[in-house]
């Protein structure tokens, strides 16, 4: 690694974890983080479910499976050391209908291959011992699944970067990246910055920032709004930890769950509705450039043809709280539409290949000294410290 500064585009949890790892491995090298918003963790990192996943769902051997498993262990240590919130409230993945048992069996096999610590299959009676107000016929219980505050974790990574002599530049959008032999030049407004290596962790803008550098038009980011419902304080105690449905393997990111937050709030969500603005959090927000970006991508229409029925169901749930809660109430029948109000919103960066397939695994490219994190969906916040190790290993080897 040369002595020139290393640039990071993106002050979300992934960019900051990579920046921190670089300062640990190369103490003499200056890390410069460029973040376009006026605070860190403004997008996915600050608007997610706050769940530290234990690796139940991910294809064994995939980057997600490997980095989530290691990332959880590293994150737990980091939070304990730094006195950051970390509460092992545990997760139940609940089957409410006999038709789901085959999928629950398959999920258990995956979770066992991924060596999810303490995993147990439980029956209806044991479900009630763990979550007295949940209903189901069988479940997987993961006691090591935890909750945290990922924005606070990201800020702690940033303070480590600064303590090691690095720089965090807020309100500094990278508008152009020029890569030439031996040098990388970033344009931010009227200024230019020269760095020796660059890592792009731009989340919802990953394709726009990376494609001109790595020359890969695919995958493109399609934004999906994830809307939460807050449970009224009177009913919060009905949920002790995390209650999830058995996922449909075709849509692993779908299925609203009951989530206890470290703040004490308990919510239900998130759904997944096609967004009209990558970074617009109100339902009325529309950014034509964002809509045009996916509407002109052949993969989008292929995905739409395959999944339109599910899309309509999600929109119906978004428009009507009654419809939203109809599905969720199957897991905790005492919490219905009258017990919730609209809560926060997060927008997922869903990477979509040209052939219409949803990119499931983390995807990281490398060209000419630039590493581009092209797909870092959930559980990337859980995995952040392990993603950082993986990225820095690759930079070291090249």
Ligand X SMILES: Cc1cc2nc3c(=O)[nH]c(=O)nc-3n(C[C@H](O)[C@H](O)[C@H](O)COP(=O)(O)OP(=O)(O)OC[C@H]3O[C@@H](n4cnc5c(N)ncnc54)[C@H](O)[C@@H]3O)c2cc1C
- Which CB atom, from 299 or from 377, has the smaller least distance to ligand X? 377
- Pairwise CA distance, residues 37 & 11, whole Å: 8
The answer for 141, left when phi > 0, alpha when psi is -120 to 50, beta otherwise, is beta
- In the complex, the smallest distance separating the C-beta of residue 210 from ligand X, rounded to whole angstroms, is 10
* Of residues 344-383, those binding ligand X (CB under 6 A): 346-348, 376-382
Residues 387 and 14: beta-carbon distance below 8 Å: yes
In the complex, which residue's CB is closest to ligand X? 12
In sequence order, the β-bridge partners of residue 141 are 92, 120
At 278, is the secondary structure helix, strand, or coil?
coil
Which span (9-17, 57-65, 73-81, 231-239) binds ligand X, by CB under 6 A? 9-17
Residue 190-209 contact track with ligand X, rule CB under 6 A, x = bound: -----------xxxxx---x
- Which CB atom, from 141 or from 225, has the smaller least distance to ligand X? 225
Q: How many residues make contact with ligand X (CB under 6 A)? A: 41
- In the complex, the smallest distance separating the C-beta of residue 12 from ligand X, rounded to whole angstroms, is 2
- Which CB atom, from 138 or from 277, has the smaller least distance to ligand X? 277
- Pairwise CA distance, residues 237 & 169, whole Å: 42
Query: What are the start-end ranges of the H helices in the chain?
Result: 13-25, 63-82, 101-113, 124-130, 150-163, 206-214, 288-295, 298-319, 321-328, 380-397
The CA-CA-CA angle for residues 265, 104, 72, to 5°, reads 50
Q: Which of residues 21, 35, 277, 389 is near ligand X by CB under 6 A?
A: 35
- 19 is a contact residue toward ligand X (CB under 6 A): no
- Which CB atom, from 11 or from 136, has the smaller least distance to ligand X? 11
- 275 is a contact residue toward ligand X (CB under 6 A): no
At 318, is the secondary structure helix, strand, or coil?
helix
- Pairwise CA distance, residues 136 & 360, whole Å: 28
* Of residues 137-156, those binding ligand X (CB under 6 A): none
- 226 is a contact residue toward ligand X (CB under 6 A): yes
- Which CB atom, from 15 or from 136, has the smaller least distance to ligand X? 15
Q: Which positions lie near ligand X, rule CB under 6 A?
A: 9-15, 34-37, 42-45, 47-51, 53, 173-174, 201-205, 209, 226, 270, 346-348, 376-382
């Amino acid at each position: 690694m040369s002595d020139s500064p290393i640039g990071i585009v993106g002050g979300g949890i992934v960019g900051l974890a990579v920046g921190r790892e670089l300062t640990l491995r190369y103490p003499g090298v200056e890390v410069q983080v460029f973040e376009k918003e006026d605070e860190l963790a403004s997008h996915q990192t600050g608007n997610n479910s706050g769940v530290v996943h234990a690796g139940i769902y991910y294809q064994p051997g995939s980057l997600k499976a490997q980095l989530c498993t290691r990332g959880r262990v590293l994150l737990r240590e980091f939070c304990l050391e730094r006195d950051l919130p970390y509460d092992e409230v545990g997760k139940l993945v609940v089957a409410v209908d006999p038709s789901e048992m085959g999928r629950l069996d398959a999920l258990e096999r995956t979770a066992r291959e991924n060596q999810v610590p303490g995993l147990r299959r439980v029956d209806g009676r044991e479900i009630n011992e763990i979550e007295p107000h949940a209903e189901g016929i069988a479940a997987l219980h993961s006691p090591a699944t935890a909750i945290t505050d990922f924005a606070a974790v990201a800020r702690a990574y940033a303070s480590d970067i600064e303590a090691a002599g690095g720089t965090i530049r807020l309100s500094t959008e990278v508008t152009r990246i020029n890569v030439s032999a031996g040098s990388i030049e970033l344009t931010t407004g009227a200024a230019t910055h020269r760095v020796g290596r660059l890592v792009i962790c731009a989340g919802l803008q990953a394709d726009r920032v990376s494609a001109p550098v790595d020359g890969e038009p695919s995958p493109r980011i399609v934004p999906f709004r994830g809307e939460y419902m807050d449970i009224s304080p009177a009913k919060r105690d009905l949920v002790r930890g995390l209650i999830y449905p058995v996922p449909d393997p075709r849509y692993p990111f779908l299925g609203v769950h009951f989530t206890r937050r470290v703040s004490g709030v308990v919510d239900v969500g998130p759904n997944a509705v096609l967004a009209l603005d990558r970074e617009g959090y109100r339902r009325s927000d529309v950014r034509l450039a964002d809509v045009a970006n996916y509407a002109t991508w052949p993969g989008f229409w292929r995905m739409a043809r395959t999944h339109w029925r599910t899309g309509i169901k999600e929109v119906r749930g978004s428009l009507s709280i009654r419809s939203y809660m109809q599905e969720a109430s199957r897991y905790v029948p005492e919490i219905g539409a009258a017990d919730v109000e609209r809560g926060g919103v997060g927008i997922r960066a869903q990477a979509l290949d040209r052939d219409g397939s949803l990119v499931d695994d983390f995807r990281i490219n490398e060209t000419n000294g630039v590493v581009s994190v092209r797909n870092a969906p959930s559980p990337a916040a859980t995995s952040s410290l392990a993603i950082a190790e993986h990225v820095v290993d690759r930079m070291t080897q090249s």
